[in-house]
Amino acid sequence: MTTTTPACTTARMAALVSEIRTVVDRGLAPDLTAYLVGERLAPHLGAPDLLSEAQREGDPDHYRQHILHAESDGSFSVVALVWMPGQETCIHDHVSWCVAGVHQGQESERRYRLAPGAGPALLVPTEDVVNAQGEVCGFAPPGDIHKVRNSCSSKAISVHVYGADVARLGTSIRRVYTQPVDSSA
């Protein structure tokens, strides 16, 4: 993954950040916060004036992270992820609640759970989800283990809101999972 910071903030992004701030400042439970932030994000997805041209740029080798906003108190960040065809994340979970909305293209997500056993825990696939432009999903740890991939033949862009300061942390990923995946599930 490569990370860049925004050259500018569009007026629409500034409005979205203000809407997110209003939700986050309520201090609600993480899962409810994610749900309400998702409601605010959805109407902006696909709007041509949400991201600048620079914030739509991908990288041929890795998906690219553009940090669009990091709240000064560290309570949330807004990030655009740009995926070229076939690019994907590792299997991971997150440091905080998260909302992801597809701005352009589509993303495939495989969700997992850890299954204890006699030996090391196995990752068990629980659900495959394909999110198209305009669709939003959200979650809060624990239970947020997944892998995301651009499975379409063109560039995909998603907008993510995390309940953490991604600019300071460098990533929203808490842990990468390298356990074997239970292929019988």
How many angstroms separate the CA atoms of 138 and 160, rounded? 9
Per-residue pLDDT, averaged over 129-157, amounts to 92
Residue 6 pLDDT: 54
pLDDT at residue 185 above 60?
no
Residue 65 pLDDT: 93
Residue 120 pLDDT: 78
pLDDT band at 184 (very low <50, low <70, confident <90, very high): low
Per-residue pLDDT, averaged over 166-184, amounts to 81
> Strand, helix or coil at 23?
helix
pLDDT at residue 183 above 80?
no
CB 104, CB 116: distance < 8 Å: no
**Residue of 172 and 99 predicted with greater confidence:** 99
- Considering the entire predicted model, what is its pTM? 0.89
Beta-sheet strands, E only, within the chain: 2-4, 64-70, 77-83, 92-94, 98-104, 106-115, 122-132, 136-139, 145-149, 156-162, 173-176
